[in-house]
Amino acid sequence: MNQIIKVYADTSTLIANLAQHPNNADKQRELAAMDTLLEMKELGQISFEIFKSRVSLKEVERTTNPQQKARLQDNLEKYQQIPQDEKLLGFNIQSDRLTFISSPLMSDILDEKLYAELTQRGLSPDDAHHISHAICNHCDVFLTDDKRTIVNPHRQWLEQQFPIKVFLPSELLQFIAAKTPS
């Protein structure tokens, strides 16, 4: 496989999140798939980049269990920062005859129209934020384990509207295996 696949990972796919459900067969399948994907990447067997954003960091910061928070932070450190994570809205400028202060005004919503369309469609603000980051950064895949609020109700629409695939980790593994020559 020659092309590097750009993957934006939702926080639901972090190893520490998936590992919290040892008695859930679906979560364990996705955990095994993430372990395999990360191992294959580390060994150079597959070419893809996994990206995170400040949205991911904010979600992890809301974790109240300190041990789980540390595990999630460790997981995120393995991912690359998405190239376009904020946009400049303008500057706040204050001055008088002796002082000049200029402060940038930033937004972490990259495309307000897209974000509004996603939330109006029924996605939560956090999910819309993640998906809009993936789309605005031209990612090939939005990786999630959130079947109830993203995959089942929105995958088909997202894939029809935007040039992105919405995959569970196990589906990404199958996709990569199908594209990799034996």
Report residues of the chain scoring pLDDT below 70: 1-2, 180-182
Q: Where are the beta strands (DSSP E) in 71-122?
A: 80-81, 87-95, 100-107
Domain count, the chain: 1
DSSP 22: T
Dist CA 47 CA 76 (whole Å): 19
Domain membership of residue 89 as a residue range: 5-179
* Residue with token string 């696949």: 5
**Closest by alpha carbon to 87, among 108, 58, 114?**
108
**Closest by alpha carbon to 142, among 111, 164, 174, 109?**
164
pLDDT of residue 1: 43
> Which residues, at least 6 apart from 90, have a Cβ–Cβ distance to it below 8 Å?
104, 105
Nearest 5°: the CA angle 112, 126, 136 is 45
Residue 81, amino acid:
Q
pLDDT of residue 170: 97
**Closest by alpha carbon to 114, among 148, 83, 84?**
84
Residue 106, amino acid:
M
CATH number at residue 123: 3.40.50.1010
Tens digits of residue pLDDT in 10-62: 999 999 999 999 999 999 999 999 999 999 888 888 888 999 999 999 999 99
pLDDT of residue 105: 84
C-alpha torsion 122→176→34→150, nearest 10: 10
Let me know: does 176 contact 1? Beta carbons within 8 Å.
yes
